[in-house]
Amino acid sequence: MKEEIKKYDFRKNEDGLEFEIVDLQKIFKEKNHLITTSHRARFYHILWIEKGHGTHYVDFKPIKVEDNTLIFVAQNSVNLYDANGYYEGKSIIFTNDFFCQTKYDFRYITTSILYSDLYDVAKLSPIINREALELIFHQMNQEAEKKKDQAQKEILHKLLYLFLLQSERAYREQGIQELEPSLYLTNVINFKEHLEQSYKKEKGVKWYANSLNLSEKQLNKSTAEVLSKSPKKIIDERVVLEAKRLLVHTDEPVKEIAYELGYDEPTNFIKFFKRHATVTPADFRVKNK
């Protein structure tokens, strides 16, 4: 039986809410074997680390675990807790179904500087504006523990929204270089959304430009202005990231990974991967397992 990247869905509470605040020490103790194995959680995390040490990994990116830190982990990222680390604090977890009550909520959460893949994994360390965030957190915690009524979901949604907005403010004060709003940025955001849905089947710039009602020249101009990259490079980087995930976190044969990523001929995938990663898929797997 082949090993796959473990996928964890949100375990609904008795009240049906897809929102929860959990104790990190408790989770680390009760589910250590699950969270210290590479996994893809189909929900968002906010890790509030009061005290800690070690290295947390999100899609091969090492995040230092330390006291007085907030780490924001986007849904579907490959996440790995440090088996030898120490995590003391809380984790706020929630799903798109909970947060995205309107199309504007969806656009907000997917383009936020806290969760957008246009930026690195967001980390506040030390936490700026901590008192304001603690106040909102305390209110969320109190509301989540109350008996469910008609207002609870809406109140929690608004408090979470406020927590994220305050976190964004703190992240800006920490010095994040934020992308300026523009038509180019809008085009890139739309391109990335289409890419996430279609990269396994579609790898041509022309296809994405057409799906966005743009010319290839317009799409190239947009990605160059915002990310200093070509659309082709962005497509290739997304395919390479998924290939790396599958190589390191599963035992699927290279040829099966090639087929999964849309390559009819495994040799073409091997050439593609080596061109971008400088090593063959097999060598990358050996070095990073």
Instruction: Count CB atoms within 10 A of the CB of residue 90.
Output: 20
Percent composition of the chain: helix, strand, coil (DSSP 3-state, to 5): 50, 20, 35
Neighbouring-strand partners of residue 90: 23, 48
What pLDDT, in 10s, does the model give residues 166-201?
999 999 999 998 998 899 999 999 999 999 999 999
End-to-end C-alpha distance for the chain, whole angstroms:
19
Q: Which domains, and CATH codes, for the chain?
A: 6-174 (2.60.120), 183-288 (1.10.10.60)
Task: Look at residue 15 in the predicted model and tell me its pLDDT.
Answer: 66
| Res 146 pLDDT > 60 | yes
What pLDDT, in 10s, does the model give residues 18-28?
999 999 999 88
Task: Look at residue 264 in the predicted model and tell me its pLDDT.
Answer: 93
Task: Look at residue 1 in the predicted model and tell me its pLDDT.
Answer: 40
For residues 131 and 134, what is the distance between their CA atoms, to the nearest angstrom?
5
Parallel, antiparallel or unpaired: strands 44-58 and 69-73: antiparallel
Q: Which long-range contacts (CB under 8 A, 24 or more apart) does 59-62 make?
A: 59/241, 59/245, 60/244, 60/248, 60/288, 61/120, 61/121
